[in-house]
Amino acid sequence: MAEYRIPVEETFCWQKPVKSKVLETAPAEPTKGDRYIVAGLGGGWSEASVNDIAWYDGAAWKFDTPAEGWAVHVDADDLVNIFDGSDWAPITASDPNSHVQGTDTVLDSGGANEVTAAQAKEAYDSRAQWDAELGCVVFDI
């Protein structure tokens, strides 16, 4: 079972998803609304900087320069990436340096009640139920 830890949301500026973060040249036939993280300055991206978010408005490419803490979902990788001030890095459970703790992380309440993060998540998740009337997940807290 995967275990997730949500980093402090106040440090993020959530962006709309991007298609990819590896293109070095603007696509030849973009569609209005297409978004990419700029990996190179070819084609219509010569006015951008590497790591900018490029978005096509239907007539021209526009660019947003990321600030540290920006977060964006990269569709090609199916991962959320965080801008650390110099580069975009994915949040992954297998990367010990990412913002997500591994499932073998031991949690200790101080009373010799050690459990792994995965066990804590499983126990917490078992308290949630789908409420069809409300159309959302509810927790029995």
Residue 63 belongs to some domain of the structure: yes
Domain of residue 78 covers 9-90
Residue 1 belongs to some domain of the structure: no
Q: How far apart are CA 16 and CA 99, in angstroms?
A: 20
pLDDT value, residue 131 = 58
Same domain for 70 and 125?
no
More confident residue, 139 or 103: 139
Contact 13, 38 (CB under 8 A): no
Residue 115 belongs to some domain of the structure: yes
Same domain for 83 and 44?
yes
Q: How many domains does the chain have?
A: 2
Same domain for 20 and 83?
yes
pLDDT value, residue 96 = 45
pLDDT at 2 over 70: no
| Beta carbons within 8 Å of 86's beta carbon, 6+ residues apart | 51
Same domain for 26 and 76?
yes
Residue 53 belongs to some domain of the structure: yes
29-59: pLDDT as tens digits:
999 999 999 999 998 999 999 999 999 999 9
Portion of the chain with pLDDT greater than 70, in percent: 56
The amino acid that residue 100 corresponds to is V
